[in-house]
Structure 1
Amino acid sequence: MREVRNIAVDPGEDGVRLDRWFRRRWPHVSQIQVQKLARSGQIRVDGARAKADQRLSAGAMIRVPPLPDAPKPGDKKPGLDPRDIAYAKSLVIYEDEEVLVLNKPSGLAVQGGTKTLKHIDRLLSAWGEGLERPRLVHRLDRDTSGVLVLGKTPGAAAKLSGAFARRRAEKTYWALVIGNPKPGEGVMELHLVKKGVGDREMVVPADPKDPNADPAETEFVTVSRAAHRVAWMALRPHTGRTHQLRAHMLAMGHPILGDPKYKTDASAELSGNLKLQLHARRLTIPHPSRGTLILEAPISKELKEGFARFGFDEHEADPEPFRKRKKR
């Protein structure tokens, strides 16, 4: 592209970062190149200089300078190999022209970092680049498995993100915890704040007056018990704080088994070699253009190991365990 162009931000891209907006359209241009173009003033937003991480508003005009040509189809370029593409496609629970839903495995991060090279965001290249690339609209912890929803168009991603922000997405997690919570059902309301604990950062209970604390609310129902040792819980976060479910269950005195971070000596001993026993089982969310999606993720091999150890049968669970609570 050898000429200057001015392009308006699509309504469905309201709030997206400038560098991400740019690379969706020209994925062959590197992140470093985008940053240099922004720093030198060649990329502008509504006529003004802009930083690469600036959030865009719908309707804003982006000045796009001349760019290097994209590689020719025959040129070798980095990307996913056929095995990666097949693996990405094997995770699909549901897909249509606007929505993509994956069953995220435990141990696979949603996004990359300095030391994280394998992640969901990278695998999304299996669906294409630029505007064809699906967009993340929420997150799951690295060690949490289950339902992960993405938007396949800017408009769909904006509507799905809005559903999460307005609490119109009903999430149901399954977890195995030590002991038997009493009462066996209810709502946990406890502010949380990120703090350094030893050599790591954790989310811990906080005073509501703490300006850095966020309110967090989790609804819980006991699905089944293995004597007094372990309870199978259904958890529904009404807020979306980092590590909310893990921190809340620890604060209740019933940490999730297999959790390497939010644990007690007793839960660590009972967990043995189990991985984190937390799975995003079910999600009900408005479809971007029609009706309602009810999505379920088959349980992970990690949770299957926990069920087998403590004698639980996944088929005994009510698919809507919170329904009876609401009638009371």
Structure 2
Amino acid sequence: MMLVIDKPAGLPVHRGPQAKGRVIPVLTDHLDALRFGLPRRPEAAHRLDKDTSGCLVLGRHPRAMAQLNQMFRDGRVGKTYWAVVEGEPAEEEGLIDFALAKLSPDRGWWMKTDPAGLPSQTCYRVLGRGRLDGAPLAWLALEPLTGRTHQLRVHCAASGWPIRGDEIYGTAPRSGGPGLHLHAHELILPLYPKREPIRVAAPAPPHLHAALAACGWAPGETFPKP
């Protein structure tokens, strides 16, 4: 019914308006190679930002897509992201609760906190703390309870600890930065009613290794700490 791939950072899932007139590689260019005998190529069942790496679910046929789409809409898929943030959350865990709205009509998908916006909630847990180049960092597990555009990035920035490498909401330069330190680490999918949920985790990509190690991560560590 599905495939789960480890999407690299920097690869858009779909060809958006910004790619018009330019040759920009996108994930959909490669999906025909993942048919594995089926007449149609698989399609993405949910979204990941271009600069976010990690687990992406593909539905292999229309019936699977309908079931997966409904699971994501109903919030029945468990999602855990790893992020390295600049700064130090005061608490070891908590709930970020900021409504979100578009920043402005001419800023595309850029978002802002706005009491009049859509309700948006993210649970966070500190997995480690450390310093890199003299600056404090924290390694977080983020669980979005809603699915707003750029939710994790805006929520972290609005909390006072932007995600490392965030060129829009953080302090990273527009070019030459360390890359967005946000990784779709784990998915838990209750695909079959009478079986245990399927749990899939993607290893941390290389551009996160130095910052994660500074916060106590050990190379090869895959599943979240309990």
Q: TM-score, normalised by structure 2?
A: 0.85
Q: What CA distance in whole angstroms lies between the structure 1 residues aligned with 2:138 and 2:68?
A: 32
Q: Which runs of 4+ in 1 moved over 4 A?
A: 128-131, 197-201, 315-318
**Are residues 1:187 and 2:95 paired?**
yes
Aligned mate of 1:298, from 175, 182, 203: 203
Which residue does 2:69 correspond to in 1?
161
Which residue does 1:150 correspond to in 2?
58
**Contact 2:128–2:215 under 8 Å retained in 1:** no
Q: What CA distance in whole angstroms lies between the structure 2 residues aligned with 1:201 and 1:169?
A: 24
**Contact 1:274–1:306 under 8 Å retained in 2:** no
Number of equivalenced pairs: 215
Following superposition of structure 1 onto structure 2, how do residues 15-164 of structure 1 map, counting pairs within 5 Å?
Answer: 98-114=1-17, 115=19, 117-128=24-35, 131-164=39-72
SS in 2 for 1:132: coil
Which residue does 2:83 correspond to in 1?
175
Cα shift readout 1:104-123 (whole Å, capped 9, x = no counterpart) = 00000011124163111121
Structure with a larger share of its residues in helix: 1
Quick check: 128-137 or 161-170, which moved more? Answer: 128-137
Deviation at 1:238, TM superposition (A): 0.7
- Give ranges in structure 2 of 5+ residues lacking alignment: none
Q: Percent identity?
A: 37
Cα shift readout 1:23-64 (whole Å, capped 9, x = no counterpart) = xxxxxxxxxxxxxxxxxxxxxxxxxxxxxxxxxxxxxxxxxx
**Are residues 1:215 and 2:119 paired?**
yes
Cα shift readout 1:169-196 (whole Å, capped 9, x = no counterpart) = 1101011001110122111111000123
Q: CA RMSD in A?
A: 2.6
Cα distance 1:314–1:196, how it changes in 2: closer, same or farther (>3 A)?
A: farther
Cα distance 1:186–1:198, how it changes in 2: closer, same or farther (>3 A)?
A: same
**Are residues 1:273 and 2:188 paired?**
no
Counterpart amino acid of residue 263 in structure 1: G
**Are residues 1:225 and 2:129 paired?**
yes
Q: What CA distance in whole angstroms lies between the structure 2 residues aligned with 1:150 and 1:183?
A: 36
Which residue does 1:203 correspond to in 2?
111
**Contact 1:190–1:248 under 8 Å retained in 2:** yes
Deviation at 1:318, TM superposition (A): 8.8
Name the structure, 1 or 2, with higher relative contact order (CA <8 Å, separation 6+): 2
Counterpart amino acid of residue 298 in structure 1: P
Q: What CA distance in whole angstroms lies between the structure 2 residues aligned with 1:156 and 1:290?
A: 17
Larger Rg: 1
Deviation at 1:304, TM superposition (A): 1.6
Cα distance 1:198–1:181, how it changes in 2: closer, same or farther (>3 A)?
A: farther
Deviation at 1:162, TM superposition (A): 1.1
Which residue does 1:235 correspond to in 2?
142
Deviation at 1:246, TM superposition (A): 0.2
- Give ranges in structure 1 of 5+ residues lacking alignment: 1-97, 324-328
Which residue does 1:250 correspond to in 2?
157
**Contact 1:106–1:302 under 8 Å retained in 2:** no
Cα shift readout 1:256-281 (whole Å, capped 9, x = no counterpart) = 000111114xxx38xx8311001011
Cα distance 1:225–1:158, how it changes in 2: closer, same or farther (>3 A)?
A: same
Aligned mate of 1:283, from 169, 177, 187: 187
Deviation at 1:130, TM superposition (A): 8.8
Q: What CA distance in whole angstroms lies between the structure 2 residues aligned with 1:217 and 1:311?
A: 25
